[in-house]
Amino acid sequence: MVIAVQNRNLTTLLIALLGAVKLILQAFGVDVITSQQVDSIANGIAALITVAGVIMTHLNHLTKNPLAHPSNGGDSQGIHH
């Protein structure tokens, strides 16, 4: 779980740096990165982090409770049928 938290912090830092670079370049009259591109990059990164978080949570749950795995006859709550 520490890796996920570090990735989120790094992601936030990268998005903030991208926005800062855009503002600095814009102050000097250089339009390299548009606001739409910054938004698209931020949305893409957020989507990847969301998917990674869901997968890591699911894998973490299975390693803590192996009986919950469907191949062991249990459901997500670890209840046997």
φ, ψ of residue 28 to 5 degrees: the values are -95, 10
pLDDT in the model for residue 75: 53
**How far is Cα of residue 39 from the mean position of the Cα atoms in its chain?**
15
The answer to the question of residue 35 being in a domain is: yes
The answer to the question of residue 15 being in a domain is: yes
Report the alpha-carbon distance of residue 44 to residue 37 in Å, rounded.
10
The answer to the question of residue 11 being in a domain is: yes
Contact 3, 60 (CB under 8 A): no
Could you tell me the pTM of the whole model?
0.52
Structural domain boundaries, residue 30: 2-66
The answer to the question of residue 29 being in a domain is: yes
The answer to the question of residue 14 being in a domain is: yes
Please give the sequence-ordered ranges of beta strands (E in DSSP) within 1-81, or none if there are none: none
Q: How confident is the model at residue 73 (pLDDT cuts 50, 70, 90)?
A: low
The answer to the question of residue 73 being in a domain is: no
- For the chain, the domain total comes to 1
More confident call, 3 vs 31: 31
Report the alpha-carbon distance of residue 77 to residue 81 in Å, rounded.
11
The answer to the question of residue 72 being in a domain is: no
State which H helix or E strand residue 28 sits in: none
